[in-house]
Amino acid sequence: MEEQRMNDVVDAQLTRALERKPAVEVPAGFAARMAGRVPVRRTITVPTARFGLLAARVGMAMLLLALVVLSMRSADRTVFGIAMEWILCAEVVGLAAWLSGAWKLMES
């Protein structure tokens, strides 16, 4: 019985000791010293690749070439030839609007 009471007292003392929060003191200038140890990061510049713009310009040139070839070959003016000309013209207009930045005017 005495031993049980002794264990309870020891358990209570251990619990209080473990639950007690330690006093934390940060020395003056600690943050400044730590910030001084951090190495300086150099900015990395990566050249911007404009493959989309190049592809749009090449596509526009190809569309114009296809329009010229189609207009020279479609002397008989079939429905298919006229439809292809209209489709290619619409694509040229769309690419020209995109390349010129006219699509930005439509957003606002």
Tell me the pLDDT tens digit for each residue of 27-66: 888 888 888 888 888 888 888 877 888 888 898 899 889 8
Share of the chain above pLDDT 90, in %: 4
Residue 45 lies in a domain: no
CA-to-CA distance for 46 and 57, rounded, in angstroms? 23
Q: Examine the domain organization and report whether 61 and 96 are in the same domain.
A: yes
Q: Examine the domain organization and report whether 57 and 24 are in the same domain.
A: no
**Domain region containing 100:** 51-107
Q: Examine the domain organization and report whether 93 and 67 are in the same domain.
A: yes
Residue 31 lies in a domain: yes
Q: Examine the domain organization and report whether 78 and 100 are in the same domain.
A: yes
Q: Examine the domain organization and report whether 24 and 55 are in the same domain.
A: no
CA-to-CA distance for 102 and 56, rounded, in angstroms? 15
Q: Examine the domain organization and report whether 56 and 103 are in the same domain.
A: yes
Overall pTM > 0.75: no
